[in-house]
Amino acid sequence: MTLLWGIFGIDMNVWLDAFLRLQIVVIVMTVTVMGLIYLERKFVGRIQMRLGPMRTGPFGTLQSIADALKLLTKEDVRPATADFWLFELAPYVTFVPVFMTLLALPFMEGWFVRDLQLGLFYIVAISGVTVIGYLMAGWASDNKYALLGAVRSAAQLISYEIPLILGVLAVSMVAGSLNLNDITRQQDTIPNLLLQPLPFMILLIAILAELSRRPFDIPIGESELVGGPWVEYSGIRWSIIFALTEYAGLWGFSILGALVFLGGWQFPFGTSSFWGDFDFLYQLVLVFTKSFFIILTMMWISATFPRLRIDQLMAFCWKVLLPFGFLQVLVNGIVLTYADDETVRDVLLFLTSGALLVVMTYAIYLATRQPSREERVGSMIAARSAQ
Amino acid sequence: MPHEDQLQVEHELETIDLNINIGPQHPATHGVFRMVIEVDGEVVTDVVPHIGYMHRGGEKLSENMDYRQAIGYQDRTEYLSQFNAELCYVLAVEKLAPALAPPERAQYIRIILAELNRISSHFMFLGAFGTDLGVFGTSFVYAFRERENLLDLFEEVTGDRLMYAYFRPGGVAWDVPANFKSRVEWVCEQALIGASDMDRLLTDNEIFIARTRGIGILSAEDAIDYGVTGPMLRASGVRQDLRKDEPYAIYDRFDFDIPIGTNGDCYDRYLVRLQEIRESVKIVRQALEQLPDGPILPERMPRLLRPSAGEVYMRCEDPRGEYGIYLISKGTTQPYRLRMRSPSFCNLSALRQMTIGHYVADAVTILGSTDIVLCSVDR
C-alpha cells in the first residue's frame, strides 16, 4: 500500500499516521466528553448535597450512554420557518472548530496529530470560529430568544477572545515560542503558573466566557433566554452542540491550560525520564490530572456563582482583563529585554506578575466593595428605630 | 435641495423595537404568567403583563361550599403560605361568629404554624430568586433542604405536605403530635443554619450584589400608590406590618422586629426576607415557650356553622403582604360572598414601573424579587 502511493510521490506513512492519530483523538474525545458529563453531574450533585445519577449502572456510570441513546432516538425537529441550510449546518460549524483545536495539542511528549510551529496561535484562531455557528443557529431558528442569544454570544465570544490571546501571548513571550511542545518542555523545572500567575487567571476566566459556562452563560441564559441560540434544537443536533461542543471545548481548553501553565506532562520542579520507553504512561496521567484540576475548578465556579449581566460582562472584559493583560505583556517585554540571568529573570517575572495580580484583585475589590453584613443589618435597625 | 434630503433618509437605518413574550411557558415566570416586553437592543422599553391563565374561580367555588369546606380553597390559592391564608379565613369567620372563640392552645398552634409557614415561603423565594439570577440550582437545593424540614413537620401535624386544611373556625382540626415541641425547636435551628448558609452563598457574593443592588427600585411613595404590601413595601422603607400595626390573633404577645430596607431595590427585598426568617424564628421560639396545654376546639361546636348575617373584612400579614378576606354572610351555612385580596396581585401591578429602563436579564430578576404566587394572582 505504501509502495503504491509512493509511486505518486506521496509519503503515505505520514497520512496514515495522521489518520490513525485523528481516529484516536475522536475516540478519546467522545469517551472523555461522556465522562465529563457524568463527572459534572456527580460533582455538581455533591456540591448541592445530592448524589447525582445513581440508577443507570453502578453509581450511575452508564447515565451518559443512556442519555446519548435517548438523544439519538429523539425526533429531529426543525421549525417550519427556519432557514434550512443554516439551521442544519450550524451545529457542525460550532463543533468542528472545537474539534480542530484538539489537533495541535500534545497529549504527551511528542504525541499529537500535527506538530505545528504556531500551535498556540492556531488553537486560539480556530476556536474563534465557533461564534459563527452560534450566529447561524440564532439567525436561522427564527426565534427571538435565539436571536438575542446569538447577538449576545457574538459580543461575548469576540470580546473574550482578546484576553484569551493576551493571556497566552504573555506566556509565549516567556517561552519564546508558539510551539506547544517547546512551551511545555521549557517548564521542566518551574511551571509557568509560578512565573505568570496573572495570565493564568485571565486565561481561566476567558475560557469560562469562551465556553459560555456559568457565571458567563449569558447567551444561553436559562432563566431569561431559555436556551439562547439552541432553543429550537432537539435530539442529536442539540447534543452535538451542547455535549460535544461545550465539553470537548472544556476539555481542549483545559489541556491547553495544563500544557501552557502547569507544565504539561512533566512533574513540577524537575524530573528525569525514569520509565524509559513507558514514560508516556505517567505523562498521559499527568496531563489528564492537571487538565482535570482546571476542569473541576471551572465546574466549582459554575456551580456556585450567579450569572453576570451582559453589560457587566463586557465591562469586566474591557475595563479589567484587557488593561491588565496588556500591562502584563508590556512588563514581560521589559523584563525579558533587560534581565540577562535566568534566575533573576524568573524572580522578576514572578514578582511583577504576582504584583499585577494583587493589584487587579484589589481594583476589583475596590470597584465592587459593599458594606459588610453587620453594617447592613445595622442600617436596617437604624431605619427601624428612626420610624 | 430635496434630493439631498432623500439621500439622508435612505441612509438612516430604521430600527424597530423587538417584542418578546416571556411566558406563559418560561422558566422564569414561576407559574403561568406572561409578560410581553418590548426591547430596544437589551434595554426594556415597555412591559405588558398578562394574567388570568390560572383563574379557577376559587372565590365563587367557596361560595358554594360549607364554611369549613371553603378552607381548602385558601390553601389552593395561596399555595406557598397556606397556613397564613387559612388563618385569615378562619379569623374572618370567627369575627362573624363570636361564639367560636378559639382556646389558648389552638391560638398558639396557629401562630407557630403560620410563622413556620412564613419561613418556608421565604426559603422558597430565596431558592427561586437564586435560580432566576442564574445560580446552577445550588441556592435552590440549599433553600429546599430547609423547606423540606418544614414540610415534613407540617406533614406530621396535618397529614399533608401542601394542602393542609388544618385550621378550623374555633381552633384547629386536631391536636399536634406529642413530640411537636422538640421537632419545632429542631426545625428552627435548621432554619437559622439555612439562613446563614444563604448568607454565605448569596448575600456577600459580588456578582449577586452587582445583579440586584440598584435594580428595580421602587420608592416608598410609588409602593404605597400601587398598593404594594409586605416585604416589598418594607424594603422600600415603609414600616408597615399588620402583625405590629393591628395585631390579629395573639401577635401582640410576642417581641419581634420588623426589618426595613433603605433603597427599595431587589437586594433590599432579598435582605428583608432573609431577616424575616430570623424574626419568625424568634416568634416561634417565644410561642413554643408559652404553648399551654388544654383543648384545641371550643367545648360546644355546632355541627353546621351558621354565622349571623353581616359582612366582615379580615386582613393578615401574609409572607407576601396583606392577605385579605371579605366575607358576607346571610345567616346560611354557605358564605354569600367571599373575596380574597391577594398581595401577589397588587405587588405585581408595580412590575411595569420597576422594569422599564432595565436590561432583559433584570426584568427576570425583578419579577423574581416580587415573589408572586400565580394562583393567588389569578385566583
Interface predicted TM-score (ipTM): 0.82
Whether the pLDDT of residue B74 is over 50: the answer is yes
pLDDT of amino acid A323 = 92
pLDDT of amino acid A383 = 53
Which of A305, A361, A374 has the most B C-beta neighbours within 10 Å, making it the best mutation to test the interface with B? A305
Question: Is A380's CB within 8 Å of B275's CB?
Answer: yes
Angle between helices A12-47 and A279-304 (to 10 degrees): 40
Alpha carbon B336 to chain centroid, angstroms: 26
Tell me how crowded residue B105 is: count the other CB atoms within 10 A of its CB.
Answer: 19
Give the separation between CA A310 and CA A198, rounded to whole angstroms.
24
- Which residues of chain A are modeled with pLDDT < 70? 1-12, 270-274, 370-387
* Range from A244-258, B23-37, B90-104, B224-238 carrying the lowest mean pLDDT: B23-37
Among residues A139, A149, A128, which one has the least CA distance to residue A310?
Answer: A149
Q: Which domains does chain B have, with CATH numbers?
A: 58-346 (1.10.645.10)
Alpha carbon B166 to chain centroid, angstroms: 19
Are residues A56 and A116 part of one domain? no
Three-state DSSP class for B250?
Answer: coil
CA distance B162 to chain A (A): 23
Question: Is B18's CB within 8 Å of A49's CB?
Answer: no
Question: Is B141's CB within 8 Å of A50's CB?
Answer: yes
Angle between helices A84-101 and A248-261 (to 10 degrees): 30
A312 touches chain B (CB under 8 A): yes
CA distance A224 to chain B (A): 6
CA distance A386 to chain B (A): 10
Give the separation between CA A264 and CA A290, rounded to whole angstroms.
7
pLDDT of amino acid A228 = 80
A315 touches chain B (CB under 8 A): no
Among A28, A46, A73, residue at a domain's last position: A73
Among A32, A56, A73, residue at a domain's last position: A73
The answer to whether residues A145 and A228 touch, using CB atoms and an 8 Å cutoff, is yes
Give the separation between CA A43 and CA A298, rounded to whole angstroms.
11
Q: Tell me if A382 is assigned to some domain.
A: no
pLDDT of amino acid A7 = 58
pLDDT of amino acid A15 = 78
Are residues A105 and A66 part of one domain? no
pLDDT band at B10 (very low <50, low <70, confident <90, very high): low
Are residues A50 and A163 part of one domain? no
Are residues A172 and A88 part of one domain? yes
Are residues A25 and A151 part of one domain? no
Are residues A95 and A145 part of one domain? yes
Give the separation between CA B314 and CA A244, rounded to whole angstroms.
58
Among residues B245, B331, B297, which one has the least CA distance to residue B107?
Answer: B297
Among A28, A57, A73, residue at a domain's last position: A73
Q: Tell me if A386 is assigned to some domain.
A: no
- Partner residue facing A221 (CB), from B18, B19, B361: B361
pTM for this structure?
Answer: 0.87
Tens digits of residue pLDDT in B285-344: 999 998 888 888 888 877 888 888 889 999 999 898 899 999 998 888 888 888 888 898
Question: Is A311's CB within 8 Å of B258's CB?
Answer: no
A361 touches chain B (CB under 8 A): no
* Range from A204-208, B19-23, B90-94, B229-233 carrying the lowest mean pLDDT: B19-23
CA-based nearest residue in chain B for residue A383: B260
A144 touches chain B (CB under 8 A): yes
CA distance B302 to chain A (A): 45
C-alpha cell at B261: 430596607
Question: Is B207's CB within 8 Å of A47's CB?
Answer: no
Are residues A146 and A37 part of one domain? no
Q: Tell me if A271 is assigned to some domain.
A: yes
Residue located via cell numbers 508516556: A280
pLDDT of amino acid B123 = 92
**Chain A residues closer than 8 Å to B262 by CB:** 379-380, 383
Q: Tell me if A387 is assigned to some domain.
A: no
Tell me how crowded residue A214 is: count the other CB atoms within 10 A of its CB.
Answer: 22
A210 touches chain B (CB under 8 A): no
Question: Is B134's CB within 8 Å of A307's CB?
Answer: yes
- Partner residue facing B237 (CB), from A226, A376, A383: A383
pLDDT of amino acid A9 = 60
Strands B167-168 and B43-50, bridge-based pairing: unpaired
- Provide the number of structural domains found in chain A: 2
pLDDT of amino acid B116 = 92
Are residues A138 and A6 part of one domain? no
**Chain B residues closer than 8 Å to A303 by CB:** 136, 138
- What is chain A's Cα-based Rg? 23
**Chain A residues closer than 8 Å to B261 by CB:** 380, 383
CA distance B190 to chain A (A): 15
A276 touches chain B (CB under 8 A): no
pLDDT of amino acid A330 = 92
Whether the pLDDT of residue B2 is over 70: the answer is no
- Partner residue facing B260 (CB), from A152, A217, A383: A383
- What is chain B's Cα-based Rg? 23
CB pairs under 8 A between A and B: 124
Q: Tell me if A274 is assigned to some domain.
A: yes
Among residues B79, B158, B87, B62, which one has the least CA distance to residue B317?
Answer: B87
Which of A43, A49, A224, A302 has the most B C-beta neighbours within 10 Å, making it the best mutation to test the interface with B? A224
Are residues A171 and A63 part of one domain? no
CA-based nearest residue in chain B for residue A299: B136
Phi, psi of B362 (to 5 degrees): -70, -30
CB-based contacts of A111: which residues, under 8 Å, 6+ apart? A21, A280
Q: What is the mean pLDDT of residues B15-25?
A: 80
Q: Tell me if A380 is assigned to some domain.
A: no
Question: Is A49's CB within 8 Å of B141's CB?
Answer: yes
pLDDT of amino acid A1 = 42
Among residues B247, B280, B275, which one has the least CA distance to residue B261?
Answer: B275
Instruction: Tell me how long chain A is.
Output: 387
Question: Is B134's CB within 8 Å of A221's CB?
Answer: yes
Residue located via cell numbers 396545654: B293
Give the separation between CA B267 and CA A306, rounded to whole angstroms.
14
Tens digits of residue pLDDT in B260-281: 888 888 888 998 898 899 889 9
Question: Is A384's CB within 8 Å of B209's CB?
Answer: no
Q: Tell me if A385 is assigned to some domain.
A: no
Across chain B, mean pLDDT equals: 86
Are residues A152 and A91 part of one domain? yes
Question: Is B132's CB within 8 Å of A380's CB?
Answer: no
Tens digits of residue pLDDT in B339-373: 888 898 888 888 888 888 888 888 888 988 988 88
**Chain B residues closer than 8 Å to A145 by CB:** 20
Give the separation between CA B28 and CA B131, rounded to whole angstroms.
9
**Chain A residues closer than 8 Å to B132 by CB:** 223
Whether omega for the bond prior to residue B24 falls within 30 degrees of 0, making it cis, is: yes
Are residues A93 and A110 part of one domain? yes
CB-based contacts of B81: which residues, under 8 Å, 6+ apart? B117, B118, B121, B318, B319, B320, B323, B373
The answer to whether residues B117 and B109 touch, using CB atoms and an 8 Å cutoff, is no
pLDDT of amino acid B1 = 46
Domain extent, residue A185, equals: 81-370
Q: Tell me if A357 is assigned to some domain.
A: yes
- For B49, the enclosing helix (H) or strand (E) is strand B43-50
pLDDT of amino acid A81 = 87
Among residues B334, B310, B338, B337, which one has the least CA distance to residue B324?
Answer: B338
pLDDT of amino acid B293 = 87
A208 touches chain B (CB under 8 A): no
CB-based contacts of A346: which residues, under 8 Å, 6+ apart? A190, A195
Could you give the residue ranges of the DSSP H alpha helices within chain B?
A: 2-11, 58-63, 71-77, 82-96, 104-132, 138-158, 180-198, 206-212, 220-225, 231-235, 242-245, 266-290, 343-348, 351-355, 360-370, 374-378
Are residues A110 and A42 part of one domain? no
Question: Is A221's CB within 8 Å of B259's CB?
Answer: no
- Sheet strand arrangement including B43-50: B18-22, B34-40, B43-50
